[in-house]
Structure 1
Amino acid sequence: MPERTEFDDDEDEYTGTQDGETGEGTRQRWSVPDDAGGQRLDKALASGLPGLSRSRVQALLEKGCVQDGTGRTVTDPSMKVKPGQTFDVFIPEAEPAQPEAQDIPLDVVYEDEDVLVIDKPAGMVVHPAAGNPDGTLVNALLAHCGDSLSGIGGVRRPGIVHRLDKDTSGLMVVAKNDRAHHALTEQFSGRTLSRTYQALVWGVPSPREGRIEGNIGRSSTDRKKMAVVTGGGKHAATRYRVVRSFGTALALVECTLETGRTHQIRVHMAHIGHPIVGDPLYGKGRAGRAGGKHASALPEPDRERFVGFPRQALHAVGLTFRHPATGETVRFQAPLPTDIKDLSDFLESL
């Protein structure tokens, strides 16, 4: 959605306003301190104005929302600034998000003015899309956060930093403002935002602790699936360890992502011969049925409980990142949801 800005249509209206709130947004005046002299304009403004990321500043420059002390519109992000120079930055009001806000219950683990950590249930889609126009996490977040969303890229919406598949449950962090979104995205790209998952898999991986590395790309035999590919694809690495084994049939494993590729854990565990229980895409063994040879190790009366599990038994149990406002490392944990825990408890009783 393009950003709405009356400043593009009427420079005089912008120039004549006072510092602070206007009918269309906020104007901020900023003077270059001595230690910022010689910096690029976009970097200096992002450092000097709270709540604005560098990419957001660049977008404002492109739209003509920045003027120097003479009233001249400045659009070049690479312009070198001088100590004492003054700039006026007009920040349009965040536009309403297109998705509808819906009052859908959320399991909120943590919330402040910058971020929100939620425990997403299985069955909830993250983004509205064809086939899932509403009832998504975004719809729920819009209702939950309301006016506390200050706008991501000029639109009043939650900043989704990473996703979970519809039927994967667990922890997600969401940004509530532009600067938090930018900081968390950088951590995600730099692989300093750590995510840990637990999954119930068929069989017991050997060795019990290891690293799976293999490029992930679109499957050549089924375009709906991803696969470990020998040519092309994107680098992917997953660390795993067996938390608990249940005979030879099943194991509870913990996986830590070094990269973030589509279906990464599901693809990697299937690639080493230990697909996730209930996985509709990657969970069929060589015998053409869920669990393959591993399922035969379960007692006949109990086998269907696992073979027929209705979703991939995968849960994001841990999340670690640097708080975008304080820089402090924060850690969150989420217990296994009832459906996966019930399977684990049942195995303990066998």
Structure 2
Amino acid sequence: MPICSNMRSAHLKCWQKHRLTGSMRHAMGSEARQWQWVLDVEVCAADWLAKETGLSKGRVKDAMNKGAVLLKRGRQPEKRLRRATFRLLPGDRLALNHDPEILACTLEQTPVLISEQGDVLEVYKPVGWLSQGSPWGDHLSVERWLQTQGYPDARVVHRLDRETAGVMLYARRRHVAGTLNQLFQNRRVRKLYLARVAGHCPEPMTVQEPLDGKSSVSHVRPLIKQDPALVEVDIETGRFHQVRRHLAHMRLPVLGDPRYGEGNAHPDGLHLVAYRLIYPWKGQLRDVRIPESLMPPWSIAPDA
């Protein structure tokens, strides 16, 4: 069974496959396939999938257990179908997204529940884990991990890149998720990152370069000024890859970032961690940090 521990892992393919189209797709050079059906009979789910795809019953059950089978019934929300004996009905819409490499992938480090604040779960997400599942499965998502750890209704509130470790919030109830979402939207949550960058950073700076046509603000504070500098980044907005893009814009690309910057390659992967998150909850200001034992070796956590 492959161990996927770096940014070239099988889960990188997972994100790439989101862009494929068609009712059945073959990933070039791989065994990845996608099927979609509208049922016209009543039948056992695992039996139907095995018959229609040619996969063994064991492989079908494994895909179902790992969240790679999606069911849409009538006006009900789409859900992951995990029970092999589930009875499918005429009119059901079924999809199977099967990539043997992704389904066989495991990760050495598991998430950590830092603290439980009633219906709010403060969690450490390691590198390689998804914030929530993709159409290709959810067995390597923090959301699913929480659901298997005694929190069956855990739901994602915000997201963090797969290749970035950090503090995340999950909600145990729908209305709590809505409340937390409002805090993020109203910029009442401080999100602080540590990054090791290629270059010197002699003084603090504020980056206001718009991203994707939207205003974006990042405050950068050097903790180690000499190359490679260690910086803390406090973001006011939450644009796609904001920290990485803003630092690259300032010619301080994050070490190990394969997408942004030049001269910043590193064999140990992305040197970026969302190490601290501050948010108001029930009349108190929660200041959540990654436990020191889980901080990456290249980082030095600043004092509060």
Q: Which has the higher helix share?
A: 1
Q: Any idea what SS the aligned residue of 1:117 has? A: strand
Is the contact made by 1:99 and 1:138 (CA closer than 8 Å) also made in structure 2? no
CA–CA distance in structure 2, aligned partners of residues 317 and 260 of structure 1: 15
Is the contact made by 1:277 and 1:309 (CA closer than 8 Å) also made in structure 2? no
Q: Which residue of 2 aligns with 1:312?
A: 270
Q: Which residue of 2 aligns with 1:129?
A: 134
CA–CA distance in structure 2, aligned partners of residues 242 and 254 of structure 1: 6
Is the contact made by 2:138 and 2:144 (CA closer than 8 Å) also made in structure 1? no
Question: Is 1:98 matched up with 2:80?
Answer: yes
Q: 1:253 to 1:142 in 2, by over 3 A?
A: same
Q: Any idea what SS the aligned residue of 2:224 has? A: strand
**TM-score normalised according to structure 2 size:** 0.60
After superposition, residues 97-116 of structure 1 pair within 5 angstroms as 98=80, 105-116=110-121
Q: Any idea what SS the aligned residue of 1:211 has? A: strand
Q: Which residue of 1 aligns with 2:204?
A: 209
Alpha-carbon deviation of 1:244?
Answer: 1.2
Alpha-carbon deviation of 1:327?
Answer: 2.9
Q: Any idea what SS the aligned residue of 1:186 has? A: helix
Q: What amino acid is aligned across from residue 121 of structure 1 in structure 2?
A: P
Q: Which residue of 2 aligns with 1:162?
A: 158
CA–CA distance in structure 1, aligned partners of residues 149 and 160 of structure 2: 19
Q: Which residue of 2 aligns with 1:187?
A: 183
Q: Which residue of 2 aligns with 1:279?
A: 257
Is the contact made by 1:114 and 1:176 (CA closer than 8 Å) also made in structure 2? yes
Q: Where do 5+ consecutive residues of structure 2 fail to align?
A: 1-74, 84-105
Q: Any idea what SS the aligned residue of 2:80 has? A: coil
Q: Which residue of 2 aligns with 1:30?
A: none
Alpha-carbon deviation of 1:194?
Answer: 1.0
RMSD after superposition: 3.0
Alpha-carbon deviation of 1:188?
Answer: 0.3
Structure label with greater radius of gyration: 1
Q: Which residue of 2 aligns with 1:141?
A: 146
Q: What amino acid is aligned across from residue 308 of structure 1 in structure 2?
A: H
Q: Which residue of 1 aligns with 2:194?
A: 198
Q: Which residue of 1 aligns with 2:288?
A: 332
Is the contact made by 2:191 and 2:278 (CA closer than 8 Å) also made in structure 1? yes
Deviations 1:82-131 (A, max 9, x none): xxxxxxxxxxxx999527699x9431111133100011101111122145
Q: What amino acid is aligned across from residue 332 of structure 1 in structure 2?
A: V
Q: Which residue of 2 aligns with 1:119?
A: 124
Is the contact made by 1:100 and 1:134 (CA closer than 8 Å) also made in structure 2? no
Q: Which residue of 1 aligns with 2:215?
A: 235
Equivalent residues, number: 203
Between the aligned residues of both structures, percent identity stands at 26
Q: Where do 5+ consecutive residues of structure 1 fail to align?
A: 1-62, 64-93, 150-157, 218-232, 292-306, 346-350
Deviations 1:224-279 (A, max 9, x none): xxxxxxxxx11111001001134xx2111000010000100000000010000000
**TM-score normalised according to structure 1 size:** 0.53
Q: Any idea what SS the aligned residue of 1:146 has? A: coil
Q: Which residue of 2 aligns with 1:49?
A: none
Q: 1:267 to 1:113 in 2, by over 3 A?
A: same
Q: Which residue of 2 aligns with 1:176?
A: 172
